[in-house]
Amino acid sequence: MSTPIHTKEQHLDYLQNRFELMQQMIAGMPSEEAGLEDLERLEQMLDNIMIKIQQFKPDWKEQEE
């Protein structure tokens, strides 16, 4: 089970790690073998990142006040 993250630094580290994972996945995808399933997986990863960003927003608002 993961520990909760609440600071901007932790949020940015999380997002950076997710984007690095996506970049590695894309770089390792041979174009001649990539298929619709690969695109759907990337889309799901982006959707999950967007969900996390929405979850992070209240913490950022609190830290700005």
In degrees and rounded to multiples of 5, residue 8 shows phi and psi of -60, -40
Predicted confidence (pLDDT) per residue in 18-42, tens digit: 999 999 999 999 989 999 999 999 9
Three-state DSSP class for residue 28 = coil
Predicted confidence (pLDDT) per residue in 36-61, tens digit: 999 999 999 999 999 999 999 998 88
pLDDT at 6 over 90: no
C-alpha distances in Å from residue 41, one per residue of 4, 6, 9, 58: 25, 27, 27, 28
- Residue at 57: amino acid letter: K
